[in-house]
Amino acid sequence: MTEASPLKAISTFPDPRGTLGVIEVARDLPFEVERIYFVTGLQADLPRGFHAHHRTRQFAVCVAGSCRFVMAWPDGRREDFILDSAAQGILIDRMVWHEMHDFSEDCVLLVLADLPYDEADYIRRRDAWEALVRG
């Protein structure tokens, strides 16, 4: 994980009964959580996402299964990340284009967001996002 990487380790505590994963807002996230949602029943060949947010920041964790995130930043950097462990999540900052692909059959994607849902916050067209980040 590089310093600029959006990947963040999640504290886990395994024992014979299972593993407890802990995300403490004040310690682990750069924002207060206002919304929590999860996505299940995903299909490998039906990607999701394909948007950025003007204001919302999010932290995503595959609590089960796996998926691939494709992310693009306003500075032109683009990177793919595999989430395949509940011991690691990914920070999705404002104005970061993100897509999710290659879901495993058992994928459960949990997302913590700093703002309530607001359709006006979404940038759903890649060309519109590119125009905004170019200025």
51 flagged as catalytic: yes
Burial of 128 (0-12, 13-18, 19+ CB in 10 A): exposed
Q: Which residues contact 91 (CB under 8 A, 6 or more apart)?
A: 6, 7, 8, 29, 30, 57, 58, 59
Residue of 51, 53, 54, 98 marked active site: 51
Give the helix/strand (H/E) hosting 53: strand 48-53
Known catalytic residues are 51
